[in-house]
Amino acid sequence: MTDYILALDQGTTSSRAIVFDRQGQVRARAQKEFRQIFPQPGWVEHDALEIWSTQSGVMQEALSSAGIRASDLAAIGITNQRETVVVWDRRTGQPIHHAIVWQDRRTAAFCDELAAAGHTELFRRKTGLVLDAYFSGTKVRWLLDHVPGARARAEAGELCFGTVDSWLVYQLTGGQLHVTDASNASRTLLYDIHTGGWDDELLAVLDVPRAILPEVRSSSEVYGTTSPGLLGAQVPIAGIAGDQQAATFGQVCVDVGMAKNTYGTGCFMLLNTGTEAVESQHRLLTTVAWQRDAQRTYALEGGVFVGGAVVQWLRDGLGIIRSSADVEALAASVPDTGGVVLVPAFVGLGAPYWDPYARGTVVGLTRGTTAAHLARAALESVAFQSAELLEAMQQDVRRSGTAVSEVRVDGGGSVNDAMMQFQADILGVPVVRPQVTETTALGAAFLAGRAVDFWADDAELRSLWRVDQRFEPRLGADERAARLGTWKRAVERSRDWARPDHEGALSV
């Protein structure tokens, strides 16, 4: 009897593996951080081989911790940091360069060139995305242009491009599969979300050869099995979704109008719009949430580039806390921020600004400012950024009569009660935290489990989702508006700060 699903959750700062049982409960988990590589300001890279070694290591560790064998698994589901680009040799499996991470800004100047050439509307119309260095397409172009011989090898079919899901599947299957799913494909600037395929016009504009691309598959189907010698049993790989889409599915936001917010390295809000790809009037993204049985479900998305990463900065950059868990007590030791506002635009600003040249800013400092005030301002910055996303979403869907009645939350930051209460206060709608906050991994497990009939239908998934705590808003409308107004003043002071040089590096 196969009573478990293994979810591989490959994130920006760590690789994780979680074993779920039939009740959707965590039976075991394992996690390992890996290096963050910063070759120069605004550039962020990962070692793709290290990603695989940490992911394969925690996979084995989670099975051992659960006291089960691979033969006890019904399927494996994969969720991953999105937009991060790996290019590798199709025959040897060796990457040709470090992975270029979604946070990386090296192609910001190229995106400006594309916009100046009049391509903004083309990309918006076909991909639902804005022209920004965040997405994969310009990163692929950079690798092909800057790694010696890469372009010729790509055109000859010798190289594979993939987001991290593709890289993991390639490794899990011993190089037998080069695939991705529709949710990850929709983040590349190369995929038409309306037709459901790679688009020749987009490929031509970005000068990316079709021969390098993976096959696009559903988010919930059996793609293949793990290679025979990897786990001791051949396990079906049956679910793939980008981390934020997986979290939306793990929160069982399967109905139109349901929204979730994930607090991870970044902070991402998605609103299910069903089979309609809603065009945002407020610079949100229109994205594929998932594809099942050849039907695509769409979502509006807003992304905060620096969410939980601001706490890591307090820990590693400033040294004012010893562990990330210490931030809640430090922030709670003062009643407010003392007038301090922190805008963590360390790698630019995402929606609704899309300003790659914004940089981190702290305003309101006085001689009375303490580490506690800064910690509290850091936590509040995450909530303020999320509030701007919800405000834009509500305006976009209002014309269709859709209203957001609550926001389901997950991810590491969601366990912080004080921050979740402030989030509800500043959103103006209830914030609901489920009992299982590992919803990114759970979404990958749900997608894989549905593909192999481990769970019968969406109704069964709904029954497995249970509330842990509900945070009701307590701020009045006037005070909420005043707080948001102060935040927006601070954001304006962070904007358009860095400038690209002719090589794409950023400087003041």
**In a 10 Å sphere around its CB, with 0-12 CB exposed, 13-18 middle and 19+ buried, how is residue 149 labelled?**
exposed
Residue 304, token pair as written in the block: 């905060």
Angle, CA 244 vertex, CA 110 and CA 414 arms, to 5° = 120
498 within 8 A of 359, measured Cβ to Cβ? yes
Residue 12 marked as a ligand binder:
yes
93 Rama class: left (phi>0) / alpha (psi -120 to 50) / beta: left
Nearest to residue 361, comparing CAs of 500, 508, 485, 491? 491
User: Position 175: which residue type?
Assistant: G
Beta 86-89 vs 4-10: how paired, if at all? unpaired
Beta 236-242 vs 73-80: how paired, if at all? parallel
DSSP 452-477: TTSS--HHHHHHH--EEEEE---S-H
DSSP 58-114: HHHHHHHHHT--GGGEEEEEEEE-SS-BEEEETTT--BSSPEEPTT--TTHHHHHHH
Residue 416 marked as a ligand binder:
yes
Side-chain half-sphere exposure of 93, counting CA atoms within 13 A: 15
Residue 412 marked as a ligand binder:
yes
Residue 244 marked as a ligand binder:
yes
Cis peptide before 352 (omega within 30 of 0): yes
Side-chain half-sphere exposure of 428, counting CA atoms within 13 A: 16
Residue 311, token pair as written in the block: 């706490």
Residues forming a β-bridge with 409: 261
Q: Which residue has the tokens 């988010």?
A: 219
Residue 82 marked as a ligand binder:
yes
- Return d(Cα 410, Cα 250) in angstroms, integer: 10
DSSP 409-422: EESGGGG-HHHHHH
DSSP 225-261: E--HHHHSS--EEEEEEEHHHHHHHHTT--STT-EEE
Sign of the alpha-carbon dihedral angle for 255, 256, 258, 264: positive
Helix axes 417-427, 477-494, angle to 10 degrees: 100
Residue 134 marked as a ligand binder:
yes
- Return d(Cα 3, Cα 21) in angstroms, integer: 6
Binding site for ATP, by residue number, is 12-14, 265, 308, 312, 412
Binding site for sn-glycerol 3-phosphate, by residue number, is 12, 82-83, 134, 243
Binding site, by residue number, is 12-14, 16, 82-83, 134, 243-244, 265, 308, 312, 412, 416
Binding site for ADP, by residue number, is 12, 16, 265, 308, 412, 416
Binding site for glycerol, by residue number, is 82-83, 134, 243-244
